[in-house]
Amino acid sequence: MPLIGAVADDLTGATTTGVLLARSKARTAVFFNEAAAENADNAEQLDAILVSSNSRSLPANEAYEKVKSATQALQRMGVKYFSKRIDTTLRGGVGVEIDAMMDCMEDDVVAIVVPAMPQSRRILVGGFSVIDGVALIRTPVAQDVRTPVSENYIPRLLESQTRRKVGLVTLDTVLQGVDRIKQKLSNTRAKGNEIIVVDAITLEDVEAIAQACVNLEWNVVAVDPGAFTSKLAYFRNLIQKEETNVPGGTGEDLNKTVLIAAGSATPVTKRQMEVLCEDPRVVRVSVEPVPLVDGGESAKAEVERTVEQVLKYFNNEKLPRAILMETALHGELLNLSAEDAKRHYADGMSADRINAGLGMIISRILETVGQEKITGLYTTGGDTMVNVCYQLGVECIEVLDYVIAQTDVGRLVGNYAGLPIIGKGGLTGTEHTAVEVVERLFKEATRQL
């Protein structure tokens, strides 16, 4: 029976937290919705369950209901320890979603918010979020079309979203160690704060905070991007020490190909794919985004054109190492907000249609050639991964490891069972990350199920 349960506001966030538990010997699965989790055949065999509420961009009342419902589903499944997984850049209605989870719990519950993810160079100092050395509100993520972030001081950001009183434990306290953190947490809670934000800049800081919470024996909801949840589980003796989980084989002798769906338009992704395509064994297929945005017959025709072009490569005796299908790395970059306005779409619909188109392309290819010829799937952009899995009829991923932090390795459960998949955010990694992902997928193809 799963003892650890988390509700994440999107799928890639769920996998990011999940792999930290999986690397610590916890059998962990990520579900796309609560119904899939409750109906899963493998739920009793799991140590940790993560459910995506897909709520980051929803209005506050809808996000509240989604998170509340998912939390109650986890409670019915027997989960004892709860986490509210948040984005490393605090996008979405974090305070509202904390309220939704805490409203399902006993009166003594306290939310400990540790937004730091040192593995990804996300830290919190004096209550201010710093992303890779840059103030949060000055990063590109802060200008996100759907969920922009305009507040850099996290206690104030949460106060604008929650009904509860918010306190702060600063870095000077954290650096003094576990006993001083315990004392400050107790004092802060005694002042009526039900949500307490805690600074951290290193994993050692996160460990000290987790140890303090366990020593206090509080009923804690962990609110974090993953590191704090993992350390809490470790000090509760629920998981073991975190280790890599890489198969022994290289897979280099396999005559298979990686299917890549690149829905991200960031300069980081563009450079990563340019470096990947320097390998002559990698082929690139450009997908035109405008027909996908238009929908209907135009979208159908573009999907069919792309599928037909990709399938030609499967007629060769030697398959390409990878086939990259991308919509935003060639030609003039679309302004998706303008495309929405032009067509009188709801905000984000153009992006949704592009990602759905990529998902349909991947699905049609797999239907035609089968998974035996596919090393694995590689998706860039969280919405792209969701749409690919949706088109494949997949509602669960068993998570295993990561290539780098926030570039997560898993296997599909249900349809196309066992097929490796790696999802990566558009802003994550170095220029060589795409090469490393493809290499890892070939290794994953040698893993014994």
In this structure, the answer to whether residues 71 and 179 fall within a common structural domain is: yes
> What mean pLDDT comes out for the span 407-418?
95
Distance from C-alpha of 151 to C-alpha of 164, rounded to nearest angstrom: 18
Q: How many domains does the chain have?
A: 2
Is residue 394 assigned to a domain?
yes
Is residue 346 assigned to a domain?
yes
Q: How far is CA 433 from the centre of its chain?
A: 17
pLDDT for 224: 98
In this structure, the answer to whether residues 144 and 262 fall within a common structural domain is: no
**Strand partners of residue 82:** 5
Is residue 364 assigned to a domain?
yes
pLDDT for 432: 97
pLDDT tens for 58-85 read: 999 999 999 999 999 999 999 999 999 9
pLDDT tens for 268-296 read: 899 999 999 999 999 999 999 999 999 99
In this structure, the answer to whether residues 321 and 412 fall within a common structural domain is: yes
Is residue 38 assigned to a domain?
yes
Distance from C-alpha of 299 to C-alpha of 290, rounded to nearest angstrom: 8
Considering only 25-34, 134-143, 246-255, 317-326, which range has the smallest mean pLDDT? 134-143
State pTM to two decimals: 0.92
> What mean pLDDT comes out for the span 211-240?
97
Element (H, E) at 110: strand 110-113
Distance from C-alpha of 199 to C-alpha of 312, rounded to nearest angstrom: 54
Q: Is 398:29 a contact under the CB 8 Å cutoff?
A: yes
Q: How confident is the model at residue 449 (pLDDT cuts 50, 70, 90)?
A: low
Percent of the chain whose predicted confidence (pLDDT) is above 70: 100
Q: How confident is the model at residue 90 (pLDDT cuts 50, 70, 90)?
A: very high
In this structure, the answer to whether residues 181 and 267 fall within a common structural domain is: no
Considering only 109-118, 230-239, 345-354, 369-378, which range has the smallest mean pLDDT? 345-354
Residue 244 has pLDDT above 70, yes or no: yes
**CATH at residue 375:** 3.40.980.20
Domain of residue 101, residue span: 4-235
In this structure, the answer to whether residues 170 and 309 fall within a common structural domain is: no
Is residue 401 assigned to a domain?
yes
Query: Could you give phi then psi for residue 37, rounded to 5 degrees?
Result: -65, -45
Query: What is the rounded radius of gyration, in angstroms, for the C-alpha atoms of the chain?
Result: 22
* Residues comprising the chain, all counted: 449
